[in-house]
Amino acid sequence: MATNTGTFSYTEDSIKSLDWKEHIRLRPGMYIGKLGDGSAQDDGIYVLVKEIIDNSIDEHVMGFGRTIDVRVYDHKVVVRDYGRGIPLGKVVDCVSKINTGGKYDSQAFQKSVGLNGVGTKAVNALSGYFKVQSFRDKKAKVAEFKRGELTNSEKIKSTGERNGTLIIFEPDDSVFKNYHFIPEFLENQLWNYAYLNSGLTINFNGKKYHSANGLLDLLTNRTDQDDLRYPIIHLKGDDIEVALTHGGQYGEEYYSFVNGQYTTQGGTHLAAFKEAIVKTVRDFYGKNFEAADIRASVVGAISVRVIEPVFESQTKTKLGSQNIAPDGPTMRSFINDFMKRALDNFLHRQPKTAEALLKRILQSERERKDIAGIKKLANERAKKANLHNKKLRDCRIHLNDKGLAEGDNQSMLFITEGDSASGSITKSRNVQTQAVFSLRGKPLNCFGLTKKVVYENEEFNLLQHALNIEDGLDGLRYSKIIIATDADVDGMHIRLLMLTFFLQFFPELVKRGYLYILETPLFRVRNKKDTIYCYSEEEKVRAMNKLGSSAEITRFKGLGEISPNEFGGFIGKDIRLEPIILKKDTTIHQLLTFYMGKNTPDRQRFIIDNLKIEKDIVDEEEGVAVA
């Protein structure tokens, strides 16, 4: 067999060693997950913020510093804590040398958020500008970096500042393209810190974040109190805190934390918590209820403190520790024993809560049996339909596929209406990571309907199976679910109906940040040399000023009007997505009642005010002066 030795020479010169910052910049996904532009709550720029605040939180947990000041500008983050301050002689090393830090001293940081000393170095390497300043015993040390390279290291000076550490950084715009911070995502992060650290106050852009009641406050603020079947159960023990209730929503919803870290993908502690709920309830009532009936509509939160936790990635989104401590009990037995004792005792002391819980379980049992027959038929229809229909044009890579590096999996599902629109997306998409689901006409308004309709309605049933969310989000196949409709009245109505479907039956999908709206350009402004796509009236005016009076203006009235070649530019690396965010003080019931319930004067005024936007665009196209 002939070999081609001229193409690639494998010698000693082929072996390269990267220094710390080069490796981080070459493989950022290993350290901060996916990059993104800030439109998703787990995008890299939020991980950078978290890595810096985590260090301040660890100081607070150790008993040093009750306040953290955070300021976030368009492209700059400032974090100041009032802990002990980095030892002045090690300031540069602590932010620029891998395997350097105080967290290797297990006595000093036994239950720290991070133990490997990488986080701050990753922020430094991935920042266009990075400054660290430590204040300690009336002295201060400052150092500045650019993309991990030291640019300024000042001598230790006297200071009147309180002890602590100041970090200022600007994410590198050559790594994070067109990024922007969404305040709601940062607020969620900061509230989680406050819930998990009693006595801590975080000042963020002029607003205070403080919690006196921990996970009880978390569930109080993230549930519709009028919809709860019984008051929130709040239980605390050594190194564990839980909160639990049942609402009226479909599905299960959990918040899990380890050493103050929000583990968005759960892990061993969450699995044990869910198992313990079922086991304790079965034992208390002396009945072998189905696990799904016990956990249906549950809203729960668990926080544990673990010595030397093991996470499945640097971003610490999933706990892998099998034990609560290296020589301690297993995570499973620790949480099961606590729940058996604390929850069982609580239910014996609170008979009204125990009665309400039992009623909710029996209701879930009746609902499950009621749809059992139609569910079986619907699943059979979905399997047959998937063999030959064209509703789903799938991609090749899906969420959580094995063998993918962390941060690389950004599979998307576009939900669109009409053959022309779905055709344009299908022809221009990346078949590796982008799938298309085609709606047939307007979806059913499912506000106020039971989950039975999901199996009775072919569109909803097939969509549910395409997403693989019938039994929860563990099997979800896409990291982003994108509603892609025309920017007209009909398109907005379809968008609203789809939002209603997800909020009504799969609220956790929305709360966990999987749902988006695709932004497509309203106008194309071009001359012989340049073409500019505009997403708003303001962008159109700027483009006209830039390209001159002879520029040609095209108003896109539907996705189907945009050619596949042109459309490819709108769903590629410069894709614009608007995340669906539920604000802290908005409940799903209130939201759906306002938009999808009976017409009210408030909603009529809202519609009139927002229709004016569409009318203004039409008027201008027809040459009518706009007020």
Q: How many CB atoms lie within 10 A of CB 319?
A: 26
Pick the CATH number of 215-367 from 3.30.230.10, 3.30.70.580, 3.40.50.300, 3.20.20.140: 3.30.230.10
Residues 491-501 pLDDT 10s:
888 888 999 89
Those residues with Cβ within 8 angstroms of residue 30's Cβ, 6 or more apart along the chain or in another chain: 24, 314, 405, 406, 407
Q: Tokens standing for 585?
A: 């003080």
Residues 575-622 pLDDT 10s:
889 998 877 666 777 777 767 776 567 666 766 666 544 444 334 443
Residues 442-489 pLDDT 10s:
899 888 888 888 888 988 999 999 999 988 888 899 999 999 988 777
Residues 169-228 pLDDT 10s:
999 999 998 899 999 999 989 999 999 998 899 999 989 999 999 999 999 988 888 889
Q: Which helix (H) or strand (E) holds 170?
A: strand 164-171
DSSP 576-589: EEEE----TT--HH
Pick the CATH number of 389-520+556-596 from 3.30.470.20, 3.40.50.300, 3.40.50.670, 3.90.1150.10: 3.40.50.670
Mean pLDDT of the chain: 85
pLDDT at 414: 95
On whether the CB atoms of residues 452 and 594 are closer than 8 A, the answer is: no
Q: What CATH number is given for 20-209 in this structure? A: 3.30.565.10
Q: Which of 301-305, 340-344, 389-393, 515-519 has the lowest mean pLDDT?
A: 389-393
Q: Sign of the C-alpha dihedral, residues 134, 127, 481, 421?
A: positive
Residues forming beta bridges with residue 77, ordered by sequence position: 72, 169
CA dihedral 303, 308, 313, 318 (to 10 degrees): -20
